[in-house]
């Protein structure tokens, strides 16, 4: 009883510096998260993006998906005042902080270092080294892009003083575990759910990425580009492909959609649409079809066959990104939707289990991890830190 009363008065601050949807929050802190009532979300997106960018971002999201339990800080004075009010017995978690560190007006690292409580810095997943053996051309450009980003877009998170570093996989574990100034928290990726995997998988899943614009484009690009040149032509091709898949695998194909982007009607010939349950459905699928969504990482853990689709209706850049994802995550080359429909190529539903294991171990779940979801491990660690 005393322990519960003690925890009730503690606060866990989550720092976010970009606009987000409810679903993005719930993926990391779901309803099952036992300390949800202790969470206070601080959002400084108004300090990093202009009103027009934010307006366009939220315009693409259903009103029900705009977070309400979030404190939006709109000027530097209020941010400083807010940080001073944080008690030493509380815990502060840096989740999104890249744009704050890049914002010279904030002097964020100095601000962050003045926060007087235990601090946890979440380091994002390690960069996946290119699979040069599978596709040298695609992998070379991935490597070149990484090196350029490292030079011009370094995150400078080393300037933030924290008590703990939280990250994922063997690569980051080896990188950070010997930091004498910080304790390392080794976690399973929040892109993986340790669901029970059924022996008899009864459907195929398509991981949808919406048809028009990505909301993030409105934040980072002056001129937004449509994902698909001709949506009507693309849907005819895609739905035909789905019919072929359903016939071949003798099962239904389910469309898994982002919860933050709801369709005004069913564009997939009446096939079932499921919102916000992508990871769960991937685990239960006999085949996963997609493009370049991060949710596809779940397919590696659940050992599901994956087909990534390029299309002649996509931009060259998007097709290159899809090729890169296929080669580096799944160790297989991908083909154009149109090539499958014209019977120029055959479906490759093979799985490289050894490669899958290497990717999971190195980048998402380190070898000695207990199979528990991100939020379950966080609950356990926060309880220890509060005591």
Q: 296-331: per-residue pLDDT in tens?
A: 999 999 999 999 999 999 999 899 999 999 999 999
Q: Cα–Cα distance between 338 and 162 in angstroms, integer?
A: 50
User: What's the confidence (pLDDT) of residue 61?
Assistant: 82
Q: Which of 100, 209, 359, 33 is nearest to 12 (CA)?
A: 33
Q: Which two tokens stand for residue 327?
A: 């080669």
Domains 2-192+367-386 and 203-362 are alike in CATH topology = yes
Confidence tier at 47 by pLDDT (50, 70, 90): very high
Domain borders along the chain are: 2-192+367-386, 203-362
Cα distance from N-terminal residue to C-terminal residue, the chain: 14
| Second CATH level (architecture) for the domain 2-192+367-386 | 3-Layer(aba) Sandwich (3.40)
Q: Cα–Cα distance between 355 and 341 in angstroms, integer?
A: 29
Mean pLDDT (whole number) for 14-20: 94
Dihedral, 219, 224, 230, 231 alpha carbons, nearest 10: 20
Domain 203-362: top CATH class:
alpha beta
Adjacency order of strands within the sheet including 285-290 = 273-275, 252-257, 203-207, 285-290, 306-310, 335-336
DSSP strand E in 17-153: where? 39-43, 70-72, 91-94, 118-122
Q: 12-16 and 39-43: which strand pairing?
A: parallel
User: What's the confidence (pLDDT) of residue 6?
Assistant: 57
Q: Which two tokens stand for residue 351?
A: 């799985």
pTM: 0.89
Mean pLDDT (whole number) for 19-38: 90
Residue 251 has pLDDT above 60, yes or no: yes
């Amino acid at each position: 009883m005393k322990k519960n009363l003690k925890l009730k008065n503690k606060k866990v601050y989550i720092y976010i510096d970009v606009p987000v949807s409810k679903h993005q929050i719930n993926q990391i802190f779901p309803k099952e998260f036992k300390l949800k009532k202790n969470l206070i979300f601080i959002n400084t997106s108004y300090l990093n993006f202009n009103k027009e960018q934010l307006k366009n971002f939220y315009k693409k999201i259903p009103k029900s998906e705009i977070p309400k339990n979030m404190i939006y800080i709109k000027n530097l004075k209020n941010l400083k005042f807010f940080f001073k009010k944080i008690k030493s017995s509380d815990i502060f978690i840096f989740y999104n902080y890249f744009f704050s560190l890049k914002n010279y007006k904030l002097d964020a690292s100095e601000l962050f270092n003045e926060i007087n409580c235990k601090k946890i810095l979440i380091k994002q997943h390690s960069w996946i080294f290119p699979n040069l053996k599978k596709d040298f051309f695609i992998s070379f450009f991935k490597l070149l892009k990484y090196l350029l980003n490292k030079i011009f877009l370094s995150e400078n998170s080393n300037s933030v003083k924290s008590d703990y570093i939280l990250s994922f996989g063997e690569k980051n574990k080896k990188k950070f575990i010997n930091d004498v100034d910080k304790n390392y928290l080794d976690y399973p990726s929040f892109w993986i759910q340790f669901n029970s995997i059924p022996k008899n998988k009864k459907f195929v899943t398509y991981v949808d990425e919406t048809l028009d614009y990505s909301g993030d484009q409105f934040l980072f690009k002056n001129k937004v580009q449509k994902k698909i040149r001709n949506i009507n032509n693309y849907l005819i091709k895609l739905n035909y492909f789905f019919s072929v898949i359903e016939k071949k695998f003798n099962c239904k194909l389910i469309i898994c959609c982002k919860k933050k982007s709801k369709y005004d009607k069913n564009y997939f010939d009446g096939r079932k649409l499921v919102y916000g349950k992508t990871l769960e459905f991937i685990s239960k699928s006999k085949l996963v079809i997609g493009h370049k969504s991060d949710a596809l990482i779940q397919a590696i853990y659940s050992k599901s066959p994956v087909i990534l689709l390029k299309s002649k209706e996509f931009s060259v850049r998007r097709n290159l990104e899809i090729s890169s994802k296929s080669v580096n995550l799944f160790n297989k080359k991908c083909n154009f939707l149109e090539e499958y429909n014209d019977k120029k190529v055959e479906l490759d539903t093979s799985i490289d289990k050894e490669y899958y294991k290497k990717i999971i171990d190195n980048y998402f779940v380190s070898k000695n991890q207990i199979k528990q979801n991100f939020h379950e491990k966080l609950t356990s660690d926060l309880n220890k830190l509060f005591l």
